[in-house]
Amino acid sequence: MHAALALLTAALLTATGMTDAEVRAHVEALLGTIDRPVPAGRWRALGPAAAPVLAEVAASGDSLPSRRSVALEALTAVDPARAEPLARALADSDGAPRTVRETAVRVLGRTLSPAALRAALAPVLRAAPDASLRAVAAETLARHAPGMACAEVMDQVSLEPAGNRAAFDRAAARCSGR
């Protein structure tokens, strides 16, 4: 098993032509880009060796929330299967910064089936302490699982205080067919 893994790793490094240190340096440089977003294809071009570095940054409480969010988005482009459990954990983490949780919710919308998405986001929609996070959960459900979740989304919209409802307009519009 270890020999096969070593051969696979060597083949992947040969395919990208970069060592682990070079991949890490490229990931760090791209995460430091502030003038424009890095396209998903550019992240994918780094190959699977970028996934552990991106997962490490996304999970790190020592990194800035914006950097963690970008790393999670990039991880979704490089290795969606690895991004999904991390996104679940971050979406459910009351200790994670709101922007990281919002990114995690959006990532789940792109990585889970509608039924799994509804199960994963229903608790966030109902119980997240922050209205903007609940609104992101509502919009993600309305966009990616409308047949399964719109009744629940509209119910939550009706429960929101009047001052919060504007944040739910996009979700309500998607669910209403507007």
Q: Nearest-CA neighbor of 65 among 31, 27, 106? A: 31
DSSP per-residue codes, 102-149: HHHHHHHHHHS-HHHHHHHHHHHHHH-SSHHHHHHHHHHHHHH-HHHH
| Rounded distance between C-alpha atoms, residue 112 and residue 36, angstroms | 28
Tokens coding 112: 């889970």
* pLDDT digit string, tens, across residues 67-84: 999 999 999 999 999 999
| CA geometry: angle 141, 131, 129, nearest 5 deg | 105
Separation CA 76–CA 135 (nearest Å): 22
Q: Which is more confident, 48 or 7?
A: 48
CB crowding 72-92: b at 16 or more within 10 Å, else e = bbbbbbbbeebbbebbbebbb
pLDDT in tens, 81-134: 999 999 999 999 999 999 999 999 999 999 999 999 999 999 999 999 999 999
Q: What pTM value is reported for the model?
A: 0.87
Annotated domain spans of the chain: 1-100, 112-178
- Give the CA dihedral 79, 82, 85, 86, nearest 10 degrees: -80
Residue 6 pLDDT level (bands cut at 50, 70, 90): very low
